[in-house]
Amino acid sequence: MSLEIKVPEVGESITEVTIASWLKKDGDYVEQDEIIAELESDKATFELPAEAAGVLKIIASEEDTVEVGAVICEIDTDAKGGEKSSSSSDKKEDVKAEPKETKSEKKEESKSSGSGSRKTGETKEMVVPTVGESITEVTISTWLKSDGDYVELDEIIAEVESDKATFELPAEANGILKIVAQEGDTLEIGATICNIEVTEGGAPSSEKKENADSGESKSAAPTSSDETYASGHASPAAAKILKEKGIDPSNIKGTGRDGRITKEDAENAEKQASKAPQASKSEEKKEDSSASAPQTSGDRDQHREKMSSLRKTVARRLVSVKNETAMLTTFNEVDMQPIMDIRKKYKEQFKEKYEVGLGFMSFFTKACTLALKEWPAVNAQIDGNEIVYNDYVDMSIAVSSPKGLVVPVIRNAEKLSFNEVESEVIRLAKKARDGKLSIDEMSGGTFTITNGGIFGSMLSTPIINAPQSAILGMHNIVERPVAINGEVKIRPIMYVALSYDHRIIDGKESVSFLYRVKELLEDPTRLLLGI
């Protein structure tokens, strides 16, 4: 019996996913619940387990974008694993027994089946492959091989990035690489990326290296048979520098392999080119005191990077919030001395008992959960023509990860103790930094706390995390003079900000909520007593 494996539902707003990688191959025997693939959405990566034991038949390839509910593979539950594994092991032994040249010949024959084998001197044109139905263009992220390098069949030569995933580009023949599209270029599906001048017998540069070792002069003029495509050509990085500075590559002598112009050659040429005009200008100033205003000195380099899929999604959501909500921000300040005294007094005992540190986040989380009970509109959201009031608090915590800002959720934060909140914050933050957050861990929050103070922020107006209606911004703690009982004292003060959707939250509710948070933080015993 053949069992169809479909893309599972991974979130309300997610309609399609990309096959990031297959962990099992077509024809492999898999056990039930064994992880067979990794799927990627615009929010997270998650694993796909086998729903039964049997032989795997892959339908959707890596980097394909498929809709939720689409069939991506089948499992033949009637097949037995022993027969399949034995046959595959026999194949592996046969492959190992073959010499290296025979393997490459077989690869080349299978690659060119139906169109005839490729001959030496022929040029193989490589184009942008189809990577998904909804993807119409890709960007050259990185060239792993340089212009003029010798590449082998199926060797990875570049990384190509779409708005959903990054995938590798293998060489389609043995030969000399001739790069057409540079790093950062955006190409349509089917456009030419590079050409490969097909050769046989391995890399042609090996004979040159032997001649160089035997004492032949490097400065001797190369004959036509010694020249390669790399001679006099700039590497992608060098070409970019020369283009930005307006320097002609033909005026530069390359010191790289086969005469290639390296990045260092381009940088040195840039320095030499910049010295000449500076010298001439200094001479002109000596001769004529009425010379024009001096030119700006120093490097003025720029570089561009393609926005990641996560960054695009965050940008789109933030602009949507600004355009679709009536967002306002109210501010207050909190005297952090009482909390700092508690932490100083009990932090060692707290860590010894619960194996987590006593941070500020647990105090703010507990204070917000109590204040949200008193002002439920701040914990609500708009759904069409209705207001949805939540009787629980799923606290979203903004975390900065290497890929961008993510907002994991602490479920039912109102029921958690201080140590449980701290443990959950540490767990979610670690998963965010490792890129292991699941869709479920980042969806369904009712209120958000963001802490810009860890980066030194004094004051900010945080943007609401839709579809929520409010977000609390924490900032850095600075000692400031304040009036207490008619006396000026130095106290550790934090500014706090509440951004809220004025369509659902009135000024009275927003200001009262923030003042209640201030009140609870400045007298932490209220958090224990709930008053």
User: Which residues are tagged catalytic?
Assistant: 502, 506
State the Cα–Cα distance between residues 242 and 246, nearest whole angstrom.
Answer: 6
Burial class from Cβ neighbours inside 10 Å (0-12, 13-18, 19+) for residue 170 reads middle
State the Cα–Cα distance between residues 149 and 140, nearest whole angstrom.
Answer: 18
Side chain identity at residue 516, one-letter code: R
Instruction: Dig out the tokens for 351 from the structure.
Output: 């860590």
CA-to-CA dists, residue 281 to 95, 247, 267, angstroms: 68, 19, 22
DSSP letter at 223 equals P
- Give CA 243 to chain center in angstroms: 28
Report the helix count and the strand count for the chain, using DSSP H and E: 11, 27
Cβ(524)–Cβ(342) under 8 Å?
yes
Instruction: Dig out the tokens for 446 from the structure.
Output: 């009712």
Cβ(74)–Cβ(2) under 8 Å?
yes
Backbone region of residue 430 per phi and psi (left: phi > 0; alpha: psi in -120 to 50; beta: other values): alpha
Peptide bond into 467 cis (omega under 30): yes
